[in-house]
A and B are shown apart, each in its own frame.
Chain A
Amino acid sequence: MATVAWWEPMTTDRVGLALSGGGFRATAFGLGCLRALHDTGVLSKVTVVSGISGGSLLAALWAYGPSTFQEFDGQVVELLGRGLQLELTTRTLSPVRVARRGVDLIAAARPDGRVRPSRNRTDVLAALLTDCTFGDKYLPDVTYAGLSTVLSATDLITSRAVRFGSDLSSLSTYGRIVEPIRVAEAVAASAAFPLAFPAVQRTYTFERGGQTQQQRLALTDGGVYDNLGLSVLEPGRNPRFSDHVYPLDYIVACDAGRQERGASRARVLPFRLMRSFDITYRKTQDGTRARLHAARSTGQIRGFVHAYLGMRDRRLPMPAPGLVPMEQVNQYGTNFKKMSRENLDAITSRGEQLTRLLLQHYCPALLG
């Protein structure tokens, strides 16, 4: 007979936080979630934060940012209000970069292939992030002791996830990356949404079982692989096969990813492709969520919260007076344009309200 126990609470609750992709929309929604986690005291129990794309940006801003929440909050609000898009365009079109880019392209055209590091728009994003927030910080330099970070990108060559993290960075096909990696570079790679940004070309030294090898990667948005950032937090991962294994008691997922699009006839190819992409996406995410709910009911994890921006309000498990309605925020795009105060307030409020409410309902012991 199986014995299943819920000890409310454990003194050493370990919480895994997943911040989904979805541009600034995800950053703002995630900020709201973080506010709720801060108020309820859950944020200090977070032992691993996993970020994708816009979520990576937020995860890095928190994990490598100022030590007080108020300062971090202000920094994110400032960044969202300023936007990255305009600066990106300015920098992309700067004469120096255009000239270098030209050299790169010529080099790439030679028969022995591209040997110089790429300087495409994603590299510009990395440089921009270095300049305005992360500076020269490297991945192990987290602000909070005991916190692990995982910022995921996708390698288009091996079609596997590249996990950049404070403990280690790795790609399952090749092993661990030996070189130190800048936070800004990891965030930029994770955020390089393939339709907006080109893939970043990088060559890293990989180590596995004492053997090292150099391999070239083409890095793009982590959301291509798993837009929720949950796969690295799932229970039951075996350290023999995965480099990133984090034992957790609770998992909190902030999801501001792909919104439900209304009915569409999808007559032309791009829309058909988009539609197909959406469906595949949704089904994989549903699968991940179902696995986590199953893990909760068998006691593998003690609680699971999935705060989804596009959640239908009437399906919430308890009344939420004053909730920012889903319709008010659901159509906001997934880009890095500057965000208006109204949109920022609405999206962060919804994130905060949903997280608070779901925590209270599904993980009350975590609040105590």
Chain B
Amino acid sequence: MTDPAAWSDGQRLALEQLQALAAGHGGLEVLRVTYGRASRQLEILMSIPLDGREPGPGIHLRQRETFLLIVRDDFPFAPPIVQVRHRRWAGTPHVQWGYQLCLYAAPSTEWAPSDGMRGLVDRLLLWLERAAADTLDANGVPLHPPVAYTSGASGSLVVRADLGDRVPWRSPSTNGPALLVALCTQDSRNGERLDVINWMDASEYRKRVSAGGPPKGPNGRHLVAAAAVVLTGDIGFEYPHHGGDLLSGLEQQGLPREELLALMAGVAYGNVLVAKQRGVPTPPEGEEWPHGPGAVPQMVIVGTPSREVVPGERVAHLVAWRIDLLTGKLTGRLGKLMTTSRKRHDNRDRLNQLGLDWLDTDPVRWARVFEDRPETTRRRDAESSATWLGGQRVLVLGCGALGAPVAEAVVRAGASDVTVIDHGVITPGILVRQPYMDRDIGRPKALVLAERLRLINPDCYPGCRVTGGSQDAVGYVSRLPAEGDDRFDLIIDATADAAVRSALERRRATTSGTWPALLTVLVGHRARRGVIAVSRPGASGGGDDVLRRLGIAARGSHAAQLPDVATDLYPRSARTDVFLPEPGCSAPTFTGSHVESTALAAALLSAGLDALAGRLPGAPCLPMAAGAIRLEPTDDDAHGTTGTTWIGWPEDCVQATVDGAFQVRVSQIALGTIRAEVRRGARLRGPDIETGGMLLGQIDEAAGVVYIDDATPPTPDSLCSAVHFRHGIEGSQDLVEHYARTTGKITSFVGMWHTHPDGPARPSRTDETGMANLVTPALGGPPRCLMLIVGGHDPAWTGWRDGADRTPPPQLYLRVVHRADSSGPPPQQPALPPGKYFRVRESIEPHGVPWWRRWLGGSR
């Protein structure tokens, strides 16, 4: 035994622990301890009694077995290596190189450092028990793939295309191995890497090559090839080290070596043909192609039935045998001969034999295989709402602290087409939190971002097309086609720019087609919280609309849940502490670090995708929703609000004004109030009597939208009849002020509504003459007002009035009326047309009661 002073603490601990075990009654014996000074490894030879165990179908266990434990100096933070000093168990699953036992499939979760050597011995005994019973691979558990010891120096192969039904065990007609060709792209920077993007039957490939036209990829892309054989069974648990062993193993599986050589030769020749087509210079005589024939690393992909992802559906496990450069050259020559000359048999046979000899003596090198086949791999985001983005075409407006991380996430999630728009350039200040580099300073953000995003999966097929546009987002939005946009499935507005939102809203309001989904993201002025506005495809309102609603909710109906959002994003008066990072007229922005802005960007996108995927808690698929996302509150957060708050809204009733100048969006709440008043009027005053009230909302001339948020009942001094409705003034000013106050002035008086029960929804002659009064009942109202007439003939009218479901009124008449002069006194009220008038205040008793019965009192 060498001097323990040289050992690490862990190695001393290992021996102590093992000796403690040996002192017990288990019969464990420590036979010999050696220390390799150069390797810094402690080797402990120990034996364990195994008598009394039932023999099983697996490995044979003797009465006592000896094991060599190799304890590295990082013990107990890594498990010791366990080896046997015999070859009796070679070829058994989970015995590598014939003597090393694979006790832990995933040491990071299975090895408990605190259990130390006791844990190791327990694990070893369990392993032996299972190996003896041949149950190391339980049913349904994926088989341990055959081991091939790979090396990065032997090139790499990324397998992206599924083998599908090309594997021989899926087709009942074929016996023996399937001969295939893997069609690959070759990495432009690393020529030693091939990406398999498709598979082809070998015979088909040979036919194409003979015809001088090797197969091409999408858009005429040149593809190189690699030979592939898929066997019906394992070669053995380990792939051999020498070409001869491998060839005989393949032969045992029904693949004659001549056939393999022919396949390799054909592929090599095909690659040389492709090299000419793609303009790779042919090396002068006497010099070699780089990598392999046709400047392509020559590989033979060997597939075996192995992994089970879907139970009962076994898919192929692939390894890639890297052919030596010289052998490759030989097969290249052979290929040319085989495909071009049918006469020179002798020559061919001689070369053939030479090739086989080479292969026989070659040491087998294995290239690294990186699996990306959908049939064997699972996307790490499979359970996430980000799958909604798969194959989608996405427009990201803004490439700043929110837009850049959002765009990156969209590309990584598998979108098929991503366009990023920003007219800004990279400045030193933004490097604090935006994902750009010092070398990019002065360059357009959108172009730099697009360049970087293209690198995420350039060779992935089908890949993601990334386009960068260094242009003004407002201009870009304004140029979107007017008949609806089918170029995008999702628009993400990450500009935090009111002008962009307004331009988008105008585009939506004036577009005839259905709009794609729209996500609008914003963060608060200190990046402690953000909001996301979600408009599903075809929703009546865009980001501007949804954020308006959120403002009304934060100031009014949901003030208790959104106090922080109200003060942060909907301040009552304009913020005075605007943050201007650079001198001069730089754009005001929020303060906050990379951590906060990136966390919020990710959380906002995640919430938006949850909403689009219909995965919000208890959520119906409402067309419009807004979520407030918060970072954990800090000591200066007065409200202490935490978590996420969602609010959703149903579709508005959307109709253009008669002159088409505005799109009017009447909220369900306003329609509900109008219908309640119509019902009430019918109950009290009879079904023919008109009623009306005020409309509250906003006329947005920039977006070309009139928002109707709410409606009011008639004032008590209003006069109703079957021919005319005249709105009174009592209490109306108070109501208007109430709405302005409780919504932070988002909502105010915008016009008047009245009904034409069982009549056409258009202005009567009296309405026309008294238009100014109809829209502004003696209020110093705005210069433009909306006149809304609700009408429709029976049975539609009565059906709507008494219906329980949310249906719009049968007819709406909408007109924006301009007041000629808003400064003077209100115009003269026209005379009331003749008819029986009810004053709203007095009509609280059911109509139709004769005066004498009322006077007498009692029942009707």
Contact = CB atoms under 8 A, between A and B. Distances in A.
B735 A319 contact: yes
Interface string A75-101: 001100110000000000000000000
Given A38-B679, A321-B732, A78 B859 contact: yes
B614 interface: no
Contacts of B647: 5-8
Interface string A4-17: 11111111000000
Nearest to A363: B557
Interface stretch (A39-47, A226-234, A255-263, A282-290): A39-47
Contacts of B617: 3, 5
B62 interface: no
A82 B680 CA distance: 25
Given A1-B642, A321-B716, A7 B622 contact: yes
Interface stretch (B64-72, B342-350, B669-677, B784-792): B669-677
A364 interface: yes
A321 B727 CA distance: 13
A9 B667 CA distance: 12
Contacts of A41: 672, 675-676, 679, 804
B860 A78 contact: yes
A8 B716 contact: no
A44 B805 CA distance: 10
B526 to A, nearest CB: 19
Interface in B278-298: none
A322 B619 contact: no
A367 B672 contact: yes
Interface string B36-52: 00000000000000000
A35 interface: yes
A82 B560 CA distance: 46
Contacts, number: 132
Contacts of A318: 735, 738, 742
A318 B732 CA distance: 12
B650 A319 contact: no
A11 B620 contact: yes
A165 B738 CA distance: 42
Contacts of B619: 5, 7
Contacts of A362: 557
Contact of A349 (B649, B672, B844): B844
Contacts of A361: 557
Given A74-B860, A360-B673, A345 B618 contact: no
A2 interface: yes
B844 A367 contact: no
Given A318-B735, A321-B716, A39 B616 contact: no
Contacts of B643: 1-4
A365 B858 CA distance: 38
Interface in A27-67: 35, 38-41, 44
B768 interface: no
Interface in A337-368: 340-341, 345, 349, 356, 360-362, 364-365, 367-368
B679 A5 contact: no
Contacts of B387: none
A361 B841 CA distance: 22
B822 interface: no
A276 interface: no
Contacts of A38: 679, 683
A349 B841 CA distance: 11
Interface residues of B, number: 56
A331 interface: no
Contacts of B713: 356
B683 A321 contact: no
Given A322-B716, A364-B669, A345 B645 contact: no
B25 interface: no
Contact of A322 (B558, B560, B620, B840): B840
Interface residues of A, number: 43
A3 B642 CA distance: 9
B220 interface: no
A297 interface: yes
B806 interface: yes
A318 B668 CA distance: 20
Interface string A298-328: 0000000000000000000011111000000
Interface in B770-808: 804, 806
Q: Which of B672, B732, B742, B858 has the largest count of A CB atoms less than 10 A from its CB?
A: B672
Contacts of A7: 618-620, 622, 646-648
B265 to A, nearest CB: 63
Nearest to B732: A321
A287 to B, nearest CB: 19
Contacts of B840: 322
A360 B713 CA distance: 11
Given A6-B558, A81-B858, A368-B669, A39 B676 contact: yes
B738 A319 contact: yes
A70 interface: yes
A7 B679 CA distance: 26
A311 B683 CA distance: 26
B644 A3 contact: yes
Nearest to A349: B844
Contacts of B677: 39
A9 B859 contact: no
Contacts of A8: 622, 647-650
A69 B683 CA distance: 10
B636 interface: no
B669 A297 contact: no
B845 interface: yes
B385 interface: no
B857 A340 contact: yes
B838 to A, nearest CB: 13
A71 to B, nearest CB: 12
Interface string B731-765: 11011001000100000000000000000000000
B683 A368 contact: no
Contacts of B561: 4, 6, 297
A345 B731 CA distance: 22
Contact of A4 (B646, B731, B854): B646
Nearest to A11: B620
Given A4-B645, A5-B619, A297-B560, A368 B650 contact: yes
Given A3-B643, A4-B644, A341 B857 contact: yes
A321 B676 contact: no
B730 interface: yes
Contacts of B844: 345, 349
A321 B859 contact: no
Given A35-B683, A39-B679, A321 B860 contact: no
B502 interface: no
B671 A368 contact: yes
B510 interface: no
B715 interface: yes
Contact of B715 (A11, A70, A321, A365): A321
A38 B93 CA distance: 75
B710 interface: yes
Interface string A187-216: 000000000000000000000000000000
A350 to B, nearest CB: 10
A77 to B, nearest CB: 7
Contact of A368 (B672, B716, B732, B735): B672
10 contacts: A1-B630, A6-B558, A6-B561, A8-B650, A11-B620, A82-B859, A318-B735, A319-B731, A341-B857, A365-B669
The 5 closest A-B pairs by CB, nearest first: A321-B731, A368-B668, A322-B716, A367-B672, A2-B643
Given A41-B672, A318-B742, A364-B557, 15 more contacts: A1-B643, A2-B644, A3-B646, A4-B561, A4-B644, A7-B647, A7-B648, A38-B683, A39-B676, A82-B859, A319-B734, A341-B854, A356-B713, A364-B669, A368-B669
Interface of A: 1-11, 35, 38-41, 44, 69-70, 73-74, 77-78, 81-82, 297, 318-322, 340-341, 345, 349, 356, 360-362, 364-365, 367-368
